[in-house]
Amino acid sequence: MKLLVCGGAGFIGSNFVRLRLRDHGDEVVVLDKLTYAGRRENLEGLDVELVHGAIEDPEAVAKAVEGADALVNFAAETHVDRSIAEPDAFVRTHALGTYVLLEAARAAGARYLQVSTDEVYGSIAEGSFTEASPVAPSSPYSATKAGADLLVASYVHTFGLPAVICRGSNNYGPFQYPEKLIPLMVLNALHGDPLPVYGDGMQVRNWLYVEDFGRAIGHVLEHGVPGEVYNVGGPDECANMEVVRRILELTGAGEELIEHVPDRPGHDRRYSLSSDKVRALGWEPQVHFAEGLGRTVDWYREHRDWWEPIRSGDYRAYYERQYGRRLA
């Protein structure tokens, strides 16, 4: 298959590209704006064409989509805290960018897969969201992702575009930018920096190993029914404090590094997805959290060359703005 992978230089996108080349022999073009989160080195050694451009730029998109059988859209601003501090790029990329891609898919007669998130459903105290649950997003990040999903649905309904949506739960694994909980805590633990836990740390997330999400996206692209939404949740739920304690164990750091800091405004307490529909299509997760977290910590230990330039660059200023303190 010839794929246009938008946002393929980011965390999940680059893992997806690696998996498709390795297991399916796809031909891949990546279109990526290369924001702070999009990194050329994530695609190092892979046989792909990287087009540097924004999904909201119709000319860049028209060029990149030529000859593609399918378009997979990972491109997004993805950090909830940044969406609270500076929402504008979230609105532009998710609303305008998704619109430009949908038009391009329509013109090219290509299939379209929108990568979305469990956050569009909001928080759930008990039980799990199904695809029939209403969208009730809480943050500028999740609200603009929900808006993009609705736009995709409108192109299916109005224009008959063969599009599907995959809503994933919290991903973790190699190449994740260290603003997100797991890589941030791993790198801070390895450096002896405090581990900033928001509020009481009892928020629950449904952890999904990044390769499992990539396999689900490929599976839905090949076997999903056009117009349908598929939830893709990880096999395990875990409270943040438990995640942090496991990271301390795996890195050999001490509990005294844990520091409770002010909570995220509007913080969603719990996410949980029912993945029955994608399981019925033939996918299931292969990696449990205990195993995946161990692999992830090992990867960060062994890939100092990947994270050192990040942790010593602009990231330091971001960290100081976000947490009001400097990294060691």
Nearest to 94 by CA among 21, 31, 148, 34: 148
Q: Is 285 one of the binding residues for ligand NAD (CB under 6 A)?
A: no
Partner that binds at residue 197, options ligand DAU, ligand NAD, none, CB closer than 5 to 8 Å by kind: ligand DAU
Query: H or E stretch including 167?
Result: strand 163-168
CB nearer to ligand DAU: pick between 205 and 277? 205
Question: What are the strands of the beta sheet with 49-52, ordered from one edge?
Answer: 49-52, 27-32, 2-6, 70-73, 111-117, 163-168, 229-232
**Which of 18, 20, 33, 219 contacts ligand NAD by CB under 6 A?**
33
- Residue from 3, 4, 12, 124 touching ligand NAD (CB under 6 A): that is 12
Which of 119, 211, 237, 268 is labelled catalytic?
A: 119
**Burial classification of residue 324, based on how many CB atoms lie within 10 Å of its CB (0-12 exposed, 13-18 middle, 19 or more buried):** exposed
Residue 115 interacting with ligand NAD (CB under 6 A): yes
177 binds ligand NAD (CB under 6 A): yes
Closest approach of Cβ 97 to ligand NAD, in Å?
5
Is residue 254 within 8 Å of 248, Cβ to Cβ? yes
Q: Measure the CA–CA gap between 145 and 314, rounded to whole angstroms.
A: 26
Q: Measured between alpha carbons, how far is 309 from 248 in angstroms, rounded to an integer? A: 23
The catalytic position among 141, 155, 209, 315 is 141
* Residue 37 binding partner per list ligand NAD, ligand DAU, none, with a CB distance cut-off of 5 to 8 Å that depends on partner kind: ligand NAD
Q: Cβ(210)–Cβ(174) under 8 Å?
A: yes
Residues that bind ligand DAU (CB under 6 A): 78-80, 117-119, 169-170, 180-181, 184, 196-198, 203, 205, 240, 264, 271
Residue 8: both structure tokens together: 């393929």
Q: How many CB atoms lie within 10 A of CB 315?
A: 19
Q: Which is nearer to ligand DAU, 266 or 313 (CB)?
A: 266
Strand, helix or coil for residue 229:
strand
- Nearest CB to ligand DAU, comparing residues 110 and 146: 146
The nearer residue to ligand DAU, 35 or 203, going by C-beta atoms, is 203
Contact 55, 31 (CB under 8 A): yes
Which residue's C-beta sits nearest to ligand DAU?
A: 117
Q: Identify what 184 binds: ligand DAU, ligand NAD, none; CB under 5 to 8 Å per kind.
A: ligand DAU
Told to check if 211 binds ligand NAD by CB under 6 A, we report no
Tell which residue, 198, 315, 283, 297, has the closest CA to residue 250: 297
CB 30 within 8 A of CB 5: yes
Q: Does the active-site annotation cover 271?
A: no
- Residue 243's nearest CA partner among 184, 303, 318, 324 is 184
Among ligand DAU, ligand NAD, none, the one that 35 touches (CB under a kind-dependent 5 to 8 A) is ligand NAD
Kindly tell me which residue out of 3, 4, 5, 13 binds ligand NAD, with binding defined by CB under 6 A: 13
Judged by beta carbon, residue 33 or residue 79, the one nearer ligand DAU is 79
The least distance separating ligand NAD from the CB of residue 252, rounded to whole angstroms, comes to 26
Active site residue 118: yes
Q: Which of 187, 174, 180, 175 is nearest to 247 (CA)?
A: 187
Identify the bridge partners of residue 230 per DSSP, sorted by sequence position.
166
Out of 43, 90, 97, 244, the only residue in the binding site for ligand NAD (CB under 6 A) is 97
Selected catalytic residue, list 26, 56, 118, 211? 118
Q: Known catalytic residues?
A: 118-119, 141
Which residues make up the interface to ligand NAD (CB under 6 A)? 6-7, 9-13, 32-35, 37-38, 54-56, 74-78, 93, 97, 115, 117, 145, 168, 170-171, 177
